[in-house]
Every structure is written in C-alpha cells, then in structure tokens.
C-alpha cells in the first residue's frame, strides 16, 4: 500500500471517517438475518473488516477478532456470515467463488492466509505438508474443516431443517478450532468504529517511517539501473495484474507466491532510490514519481486494448513512461503523459473518493472526461510510433 504523504493525511483520515459513518448507516440496524461473532476465546480488537451489499441489504459480513492489520502479531479469527439467498456471491471482497465446491473454497482460504503470513523458510516447510479436510463437530456446530499446522478454515453445516438463513465460515490462525465458540452480534457499530481506529493507528504509526530495507536475506534481484529499475518494477506488477485477471476470468481465486510482497517492495525501493540518485529528489518526490508511472501503466493495461494486444506498443509505452519518469526525457507520448498527470491529480484517482463538498455527479463526469482525454492521447500516440 502506498504511503500517504503528510499533506494528504488529514484528508485521507477524514474520508475514512466518512466511510465508517456510511458503513454504520448501511449495516446497523441490520435486516432480519443474524450476524455471528466470536464468543470465545477473547481476542481484540474486534472489527468489521469486510462486507458486501446486494440491493441495498447486506449479503456478507466478515468480523475479525485479533490483530487483523498485522497477521504476524498474534492469533486471530475471522467469522463471515453470508445470507444464503446470496449463495452465488463469492466471499466479500474476494471475487468469484473458486471452482471445486466447498472443500476447494476452504483450501483457498488457507492459501490466502499463507500469503498474508509471508514466505519464511520455516513456514514454507510447514506448508509443504498436505491439508486435511474432514467433517467434524466443533463447539460452534457441525462443520467441514480444513486444517493446516497453524491455519484452519471451517464452514458450519446447516441443520436439517435449517434454523438460520445464513452460512457461517470461520478462519483461524494460531487458535484451535476446538476453542472457538460463536454468538450472535447485537450491534455492529462498535466493530465498524474499531476498524476505523485500527486503520487510523496504522497510518499514524507509519508516519515518517521509511519503507523496509531494499535487500532481504534470500532475496536477489537482477541488476537494473536508471529507467531499467522502473521497467523491472512495472513488468513485475503488470504480470501480476494479468495473472489476477486471468484467475478471475476462470472463476478462481487469485494466487500469489508468498514472496510476492517482499519482491515487489524490493523492486519498488530500488526504483525510488534510482530516481533519487538520477533526479536529485527527496524520498517522497521519488516515491510519488514511481507511483504515478506504475499506476499509469496499470491503467493502460486495464483500459487500453492495444496495450495487451500489441507487444511492440506495450514495450514502447513502458519504455517512454520509464524514461520520462526516471530520466526526465522528452518522449513522443508527452501529451499522453501530461493527460495522465491531470487524471492522476484528482482526489478520486489518488484517494479513491472526492471530497464531500464536491457534487459526486459533477466529479464523476469530470473524471470520466479526464479518462477519455488520457485514452485518446495514448490512442493518438499509437498512430505515430
């Protein structure tokens, strides 16, 4: 996640506060479906970490108990309650349901947690062991349980006849399934507030801190300097994005190697450091320049068909973007680069939401116009290269 500069921090926190208020309005009071949370063991903080709405009503809510912002800080349990009339909807925020039925879904959840934990040698050795899937009777009820060494996932099996119109899934890390007991949650507002406070604390904690060091034990990068450093970062990011979209298209949950985060950080840090060396910028300016360039290439990958259809144009766009960002070169795509700079400068693009004082319809129309300008400028560039 990109570090939020000091001059944007207050605005970013204000937008988070507004989102928390909107979440509370949407989720509490709830409609008739029950929502389940953790009765035991006692883990804090307890927060609404994900939810999904369908036709104005909630269809899935994930409550996480324990340090959800830092999965290595201690044990935690996530409880997802999904309305059974929304059974065709995937786990909130995670795209389509994976193929292969419930067992494949549980295995997929464990893989997600493995990725969040990172790829230390000890854990890679532990994770090489096969997963075990069985029907069990837990204190929370009969369930299909998939177990790893320290991570497990379970779906409670419906009673016959069903007493609740919901499906409940539990994911635990560092907590035994046999110790987990559930209860109905009477009020979600405190958990919505807890999410906001946790994110606020994470932002404030990161204030003024440098990114992690460039090199890490066991992590090696191919040599690259100058524009090549940004090209290497961009290629890594674009390849990851393409794999993610391919997985969604196939109805599968995207997978990332446990070392993905460390590699991405190392490539990013090298590009920032090279920008500082070549352009004489401070760290924040260099980070911003790399952010603008990488996001522009991701935008082209998503919105410009020629970028993925024509390898020659893709390579040329990547090269010109890298040379302009890292070396300050004047390039044939200069008008398109300027159009992207105007597009990126909008709060909606950078922060994900316009200020509350701005008319949302006017802001969206203005942003769509900037998007069109950018795409048209790049389309014009394709005719001259």
- Residues 6 or more apart whose Cβ sits within 8 Å of residue 118: 72, 258, 259, 261, 262
Residues 12 and 92 in one domain: yes
User: What pLDDT, on a 0 to 100 scale, did the predictor assign at position 32?
Assistant: 61
Per-residue DSSP letters for 142-153? EEEEEE-SSEEE
pLDDT in tens, the chain (385 residues): 344 444 455 655 666 566 666 666 656 555 567 889 999 999 988 888 877 766 556 778 889 998 866 656 678 899 999 887 544 333 333 333 333 478 878 887 887 776 666 544 445 455 556 678 899 999 988 999 998 877 899 999 886 555 667 889 999 988 999 999 999 988 887 887 777 776 666 666 555 444 444 444 445 778 889 999 999 999 999 998 888 777 666 655 566 666 777 788 889 989 999 999 999 999 888 988 999 999 999 999 989 999 999 999 999 999 999 999 999 999 999 999 999 998 888 654 444 444 444 455 666 677 788 889 999 999 999 999 8
**Residue 53 falls within a domain, yes or no?**
yes
pLDDT at 232: 94
Residue corresponding to tokens 């899935």: 60
For residues 152 and 381, give the distance between their C-alpha atoms in angstroms, rounded to a whole number. Answer: 51
- Decide if 219 is inside a domain: no
Decide: helix, strand or coil at residue 383: coil
pLDDT for 71 equals: 59
pLDDT for 231? 95
Q: How many domains does the chain have?
A: 2
Task: Say whether both 137 and 258 belong to one domain.
Answer: no
pTM of the model as a whole: 0.51
Residue 187's domain spans which residues?
Answer: 6-201
Residues 39 and 178 in one domain: yes
* Residue 222 domain flag: no
* Domain co-membership, 186 together with 236: no
Of 201, 236, 258, the one marking the end of a domain is 201
> Is the same domain home to 183 and 301?
no
CA distance 337 to 320: 9
């Amino acid at each position: 996640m990109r570090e939020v500069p000091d001059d944007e921090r207050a605005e970013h926190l204000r937008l988070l506060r507004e989102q928390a208020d909107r979440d509370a309005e949407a989720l509490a009071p709830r409609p008739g479906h029950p929502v389940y949370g953790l009765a035991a063991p006692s883990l804090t903080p307890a927060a609404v970490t994900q939810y999904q709405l369908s036709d104005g009503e909630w269809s899935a809510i994930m409550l996480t108990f324990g340090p959800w912002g830092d999965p290595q800080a201690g044990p935690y349990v996530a409880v997802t309650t999904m309305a059974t009339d929304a059974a065709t909807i995937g786990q909130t925020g995670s795209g389509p349901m994976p193929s292969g039925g419930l067992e494949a879904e549980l295995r997929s959840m464990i893989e997600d947690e493995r990725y969040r934990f990172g790829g230390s040698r000890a854990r890679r050795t532990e994770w090489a062991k096969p997963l075990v899937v069985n029907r069990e009777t837990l204190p929370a009820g009969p369930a299909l349980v998939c177990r790893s060494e320290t991570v497990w996932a379970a779906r409670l099996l419906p009673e016959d006849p069903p007493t609740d119109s919901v499906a409940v899934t539990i994911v635990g890390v560092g907590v035994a399934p046999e110790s987990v007991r559930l209860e109905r949650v009477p009020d979600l507002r405190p958990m919505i507030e807890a999410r906001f406070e946790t994110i606020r604390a994470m932002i404030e904690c990161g204030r003024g801190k440098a990114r992690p060091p460039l090199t890490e034990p066991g992590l090696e990068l191919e040599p690259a300097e100058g524009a090549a450093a940004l090209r290497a970062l961009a290629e890594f990011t674009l390849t990851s994005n393409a794999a993610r979209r391919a997985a969604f298209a196939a109805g599968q949950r995207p997978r990332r190697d446990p070392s993905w985060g460390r590699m991405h950080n190392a490539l990013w840090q090298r590009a920032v450091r090279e920008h500082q060396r070549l352009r004489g910028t401070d760290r924040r300016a260099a980070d911003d320049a790399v952010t603008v360039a990488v996001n522009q290439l991701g935008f082209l990958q998503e919105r410009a068909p020629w970028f993925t259809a024509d390898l020659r144009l893709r390579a040329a766009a990547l090269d010109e973007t890298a040379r302009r960002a890292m070396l300050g070169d004047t390039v044939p795509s200069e008008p398109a680069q300027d159009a992207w700079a105007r597009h990126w400068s909008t709060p909606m693009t950078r922060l994900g939401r316009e200020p509350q004082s701005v008319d949302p319809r006017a802001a969206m129309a203005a942003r769509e116009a900037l998007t069109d300008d950018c795409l048209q400028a790049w389309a014009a560039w394709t005719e001259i290269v």
